[in-house]
Amino acid sequence: MAQTESIVRTQIIPLTGMNLVLPNTSIAEVINYSTPTTVKGAPDWYLGTVNWRGINIPLVSFEKANEVKAARKSKLTRIAVLNGVSGNDKLSFYGVVVQGIPRLVSLEESSIQEANSSTTKLPLALSQVTIADQEAVIPDQIKIEKLLKQSGAEVSHIS
């Protein structure tokens, strides 16, 4: 009997000059961009907090955290609210600024290849891959959440 390859439902998320790829279950929601409330003394990649469903969540620029130039806000700018994966209740959600609406894609493991042509190594990338001739980044959510924790970021309920 032939073994069938598992299919993972993912989302391809446009950023500035790159795409993130994440399992569909990692993304809680994609919302319209709202100007974050800044956090005093935060690094430039930690943009502040935004209100989402009655809680304030940290907002991250993936590009800036990887020392890559980020696009300015446009009419396409959104926030992808990600589910925390580290098990830290204080970082159960956080947002990432994105440059468009993510695309839902069903991927077979064999369709994901390690990217050989990528010249820029991203510290917050778990892997840089090619999917159907398109380069993408699998973010290291554990590292992102660790950086947020080190910066004092946490989810807070609005009073």
- CA dist., res. 21 & res. 129, Å (int): 9
Residue 2 lies in a domain: no
Q: What is the pLDDT of residue 110?
A: 66
Residue 56 contacts residue 39 (beta carbons within 8 Å): no
User: In this structure, is residue 62 part of a structural domain?
Assistant: yes
E-assigned strand segments in 24-92: 27-32, 46-52, 55-60, 78-83
Could you give the percent of the chain with pLDDT greater than 70? 90
Task: Kindly state the tokens that stand for 6.
Answer: 């598992």
User: What residues contact 127, with CB distance under 8 A and at least 6 apart?
Assistant: 114, 137, 138
On the question of pLDDT at 77 being above 50, the answer is yes
Cα separation of 127 and 137, whole Å? 6
Let me know if residue 92 belongs to a domain.
yes
The CATH number of whichever domain residue 148 belongs to comes to: 2.40.50.180
Residue 118 has pLDDT above 70, yes or no: no
When pLDDT is averaged across residues 126-146 and rounded to a whole number, the result is 89
Task: Tell whether 93 is covered by a domain.
Answer: yes
With respect to residue 37, please indicate whether it lies within any of the assigned structural domains. Answer: yes
Would the CA dihedral through 95, 26, 142, 77 be positive or negative? Answer: negative
- Predicted TM-score (pTM) of this structure: 0.89
Q: How far apart are the C-alpha atoms of 48 and 34, rounded to whole Å? A: 11
Mean pLDDT over 14-21 rounds to: 92
Q: What's the rounded mean pLDDT across residues 140-149? A: 96
Vertex 95: Cα angle to 89 and 98 (nearest 5): 160
Position 1 scores a pLDDT of 47
Residue 68 lies in a domain: yes
Instruction: Identify the CA nearest to 109 among candidates 3, 5, 4.
Output: 5
The whole-number pLDDT of residue 41 equals 93
Full residue range of the structural domain in which residue 25 is found: 7-157
1 located within any domain: no
For the segment 39-54, the average pLDDT, to the nearest whole number, is 96
Number of structural domains (the chain) is 1
Asked if the model's pLDDT at residue 6 lies above 90, the reply is: no
